[in-house]
Amino acid sequence: MSVEAHSSDHIAPIKLYLAVFAALMALTATTIWVAFIDLGELNALAAVAIAVVKATLVILFFMHVKYSSKLTWLVVASGFLFLTILLALTMADVVSRGWLGTPGG
């Protein structure tokens, strides 16, 4: 039980980490740049989309999920699945609340 103990773990090269860091910096600059352009409703969408891409890079490479077991993928996906349910179902209520008007009013 010595050197081989974690042979199952993938050891990513530092070059990869530097490339991911550079991509994250470029995306940070992009998100600031886009915020100053008037896209109407699309501004919020662009901000969230860029943040999702950045988070995905961090999760896949810095957090090694790209090289992790299917069980890890399942746990990560379940976290985001339940977050999506939380946001989607609540917003479905908030957004549609006024659609039918007030009864009797």
Min. distance of Cβ 99 from another protein in angstroms?
A: 14
Q: Does 18 bind another protein (CB under 8 A)?
A: yes
Structure tokens at 30: 């992009």
Q: Does 19 bind another protein (CB under 8 A)?
A: no
Structure tokens at 64: 């090694």
Subset of residues 59 to 78 that bind another protein, contact rule: CB under 8 A: 59, 61-64, 68-69, 71-72, 75-76, 78
Pick from 70, 94, 99, 103 the residue near another protein by CB under 8 A. Answer: 94
Q: SS in 3 state form for 33-93?
A: HHHCCCCCCHHHHHHHHHHHHHHHHHHHHHCCHHHCCHHHHHHHHHHHHHHHHHHHHHHHH
Pick from 26, 45, 66, 91 the residue near another protein by CB under 8 A. Answer: 91
Q: Does 92 bind another protein (CB under 8 A)?
A: no
